[in-house]
Amino acid sequence: MGENPRARRLADRIKQIIATRLDKGLRDPRLGFVTITDVRVTGDLQHASVFFTVYGTDEERADSALALESAKGMLRSEVGRNITARITPSLEFIADAIPENAQHIEDLLREARERDGQVADLASNAAYAGEEDPYVQPRERDDDEES
């Protein structure tokens, strides 16, 4: 089944409203450099999951998550004023794991490159255990034998 187009439009609008509000600033000193990465709205348009990332240390991420959680009511009111839906969806803030996942993938790729280099070094110094071509070749007939 496809995604509800109305839910997708509402999600895009909520993302824009929250990002604009965060850009204007909240009066919470715990809030760091927050980026809203995605918003997903349920099919009944009653719940919105807001995914965010925070640039900084783990402590700054935790503080920003607490700041967003404490500002949830004010942000929901802001969303309610700026959308035309009958019901204002409840908001849930979820820390997006994109930066951590990207770093993990980079680490795996670096490790794979190192192992490929090791295998290439071993292959360059390798010698055949037996003959160079281990497959049985058909015998070549001499023209002298046929006569």
Q: Is residue 55 part of a domain?
A: yes
CATH number, domain of 90, equals 3.30.300.20
User: Which residues are CB-neighbours of 6 under 8 A, at least 6 positions away?
Assistant: 45
Q: Is residue 23 part of a domain?
A: yes
Q: Is residue 106 part of a domain?
A: no
Global pTM value: 0.67
Whether residue 64 contacts residue 31, with contact meaning beta carbons closer than 8 Å, is answered with: yes
- pLDDT > 80? residue 136: no
- For the chain, the average pLDDT equals 84
Show the domain range for 43: 5-97
When divided into structural domains, the chain yields a total of 1
Q: Which of 22, 48, 45 is nearest to 34 (CA)?
A: 22
Q: Is residue 122 part of a domain?
A: no
Q: Is residue 134 part of a domain?
A: no
pLDDT score for 1: 40
Whether residue 93 contacts residue 52, with contact meaning beta carbons closer than 8 Å, is answered with: yes
**Cα 105 to Cα 33, 36, 68, 70, distances in angstroms:** 24, 22, 28, 33
Q: Is residue 146 part of a domain?
A: no
In DSSP terms, 93 is beta-bridged to: 50
Q: Is residue 52 part of a domain?
A: yes
User: Which residues are CB-neighbours of 52 under 8 A, at least 6 positions away?
Assistant: 34, 35, 36, 37, 64, 68, 93, 94, 95, 96
- State the chain's maximal CA–CA distance in angstroms: 104
pLDDT (tens digit, 9 = 90+) per residue, 46-69? 999 999 988 888 888 888 888 888
